[in-house]
Structure 1
Amino acid sequence: MSDNEKDEIEESKAPLIEHLVELRSRLLKTVIAIAIAFLFCFYFASDIFNILVIPYERAVGGTHQVEMIFTAPQEYFFTQLKIALFGALFIAFPVIASQIYMFMAPGLYKHEREAFRPFLIATPILFLLGACLVFFVVMPLAMQFFLSMEQVGEGPVEIRHLPKVSEYLGLIMTLIFAFGLVFQLPVVLTLLARAGIVDSAFLKSKRKYAVVVAFIMAAILTPPDPISQMGLALPTLLLYELSILSVKSVEKKRAERDAEEEAS
């Protein structure tokens, strides 16, 4: 540890009460951001829900008007509250992440702060990519699979799918959050590599276990249909391989930095 780094840490030290005051300030700003986003999303809850129904419309082919029901008087109201909270967390994430970073930054070295910033950008982008995969690929295919089980004009009993608004929202939100979280795998493994907890050799040696875990996670986090499960498991394995490349990059930069320090 250099003298400059020691001085930097000493200057950033503060009494406990100051840390608590700053934590309260950061939490207050985060809650305000979520509350404002919540009110905004609640106002447009019906429009947001209509957007989320697009994968279902694609699954039925857009040949007729989509019908959904709610069976309790308060069901659609609570569905709108869930939509508002879902949208608020998504919209307010940059504020949440920045407040967390600004609270932690005084305790980090300069090079650690510089290394941490890219992950603040990568996290929402990867989450958005996971959500897009659900919206444009997985959800339409999964709904086609479920709708194929309808029995219309066959036999004495007609079985037709008539979705409830709360159940449909719960399904698509579960898939979006599941895919969004799984798409954070490169961020998590790269951070662990920076902390010296894992390395590329370890990840390579555990590749076969990663395959098993990926399919187990897909079975737990997605509906019990093969399309959703494969749709989550295969990108997870791809992200695992990308994580290995990212960890290799971290190791290469660390080796170069160590070589420079030894040379100086």
Structure 2
Amino acid sequence: MTEGITKRRDPEGRMPLAQHLRELRNRLLYAIAGIAIGSVIGWFLYDPLADLMVAPLEGINERGGHAELNFGSVGVGFELHVKMAAFIGIFISSPWWILQGWLFIAPALRRKEKLIALGFTAAAVTLFLLGGLLGWLILPRAVVVLTGFAPDFAVNLLDARIYYRFFMQIIAAFGISFLLPVVMVGINFLGLIKGRTYLSGWRWAVIGCAVFAALVNPLPDAWSMIMILSPMLFFYFAASFICIGHDKRKAKRRAKELSELLGDESEGSDWIQP
């Protein structure tokens, strides 16, 4: 009964602050639970993934170079196993925790916008995984190039912690960078930033994306940076135009509601007049 009254009083689905905070807590707990389950799966996927990560070093040795991983203490192997399992869990469960973010936003959206939000959830998952895949494809060449600066007589004795962290940071950075358009659209749907604001700030966006691409680029050449920067800029401008279209539809809908409201008031006033 109370729920029905709430819906009638608040057709746009707004929540009180306390209920909003409870919803945020629940979504965070659901997301963490999904990552935990993914981490359990990641524990068993560690060995084949570790073999793929070490493959560039084996290729260096086969070509006459010298590159080895150094596990400096007894517990390093277990520590890296746990970290890699959690890292794999984040990627495996990405459809789940990204969905939780959209479900948190969903009460503020209308029915048609909720369908669009589900579409962007699928897009976010796809982009996140594509970004991680791009980072994974670049990493083997990055390892070969960066270790190639050592003299021929040197042995590249690489710290296992640093090597694994290098892989995880690059892959995560690529995945997060590809989420840029989804974050932009989500902020726009919440009414915090308009699409025109995004578009008018394109110069700062280009500078920011270029700096980010330079920081995460593991290779000392411009082509790799351009390969990272190009999709980010494409996604930025695509998201800006999507947000502009959403703002126009929202403004048109509000204008229609306002005209209907004014029409109802004028009819009421005509009825009251003698």
TM-score under structure 2 length normalisation = 0.72
Q: What corresponds to 2:243 in structure 1? A: 247
Bigger drift between 232-241 and 191-200 goes to 191-200
Q: Give the aligned partner of residue 34 of structure 2.
A: 33
Determine whether 1:92 maps to 2:93. Answer: yes
Are the counterparts in 1 of residues 98 and 124 from structure 2 also a CA contact under 8 Å? no
The 1:98–1:262 alpha-carbon spacing in structure 2 relative to 1, beyond 3 Å, is same
Does the aligned pair in 2 maintain the 1:41–1:83 contact within 8 Å?
A: yes
Q: Percent identity?
A: 25
User: What's 1:205 paired with?
Assistant: 200
Query: What is the CA deviation profile of residues 184-217 of structure 1, one whole-angstrom value per residue up to 9, with x for unaligned ones?
Result: 1111222333344444544343322222212222
Aligned to 2:135: 134
Paired residues in the alignment total 254
Q: Which residue of 1 aligns with 2:220?
A: 225
Paired residues of 2:67 and 2:155 also in contact (CA < 8 A): no
Residue 177 of structure 2 is aligned to residue 182 of structure 1: yes
In 2 relative to 1, CA 61–74 (structure 1 residues): closer, same or farther, beyond 3 Å? closer
- Return the alpha-carbon distance in structure 1 between the equivalents of residues 193 and 16 of structure 2: 32
Q: Would the alpha carbon gap of residues 31 and 183 (structure 1) be closer, same or farther in structure 2, given more than 3 Å must change?
A: closer
Asked if 2 retains the 8 angstrom alpha-carbon contact of 1:33 and 1:95, the reply is: yes
In structure 2, relative to structure 1, the CA distance for the partners of 1:184 and 1:261 (3 Å cut) is: same
* Offset at residue 12 of structure 1 (A): 8.1
Q: Give the structure 2 partner of residue 155 of structure 1.
A: none
CA pair 35-201 structure 1, distance change in 2 beyond 3 A: closer
Q: Could you list the runs of 5+ residues in structure 2 that have no partner in the other structure?
A: 1-5, 261-274
> How far is the alpha carbon of 1:127 from its aligned partner?
0.6
Residue 69 of structure 1 is matched in structure 2 by 70
Aligned to 1:150: 150
Using the size of structure 1 for normalisation, the TM-score is 0.75
| Contact 2:27–2:101 (8 Å) recurs in 1 | yes
**Per the alignment, do residues 254 and 101 of structure 1 end up closer, same or farther by CA in structure 2, a change over 3 Å counting?**
closer
* Pairing 1:17-32 to 2, within 5 Å after superposition: 20=22, 28-32=29-33
Q: Secondary structure at the match of 1:163?
A: strand
| Conserved? CA contact 1:214–1:236, under 8 Å | yes
CA distance in 2: counterparts of 1:19 and 1:200, whole angstroms:
27
Query: Counterparts of 1:24 and 1:210 in 2: how far apart (Å)?
Result: 32
Distance 2:256 2:229 in 1: 41
Using the TM superposition, name which of 89-98 and 107-116 deviates more.
107-116
Question: For 2:74, what is the secondary structure of its paired residue?
Answer: coil
**Matched letter for residue 189 of structure 1:** M
Displacement of 1:84: 0.5
Contact map agreement 2:12 2:109 (CA 8 A) in 1: no
Cα gap change, 1:159/1:67 in structure 2, threshold over 3 Å: closer, same or farther?
closer
**Equivalent-residue separation in structure 2 for 1:197 and 1:106 (angstroms):** 16
Provide, for residues 205-230 of structure 1, a one-character-per-residue CA deviation record: whole Å limited to 9, x for no partner.
33222222122223444447345544
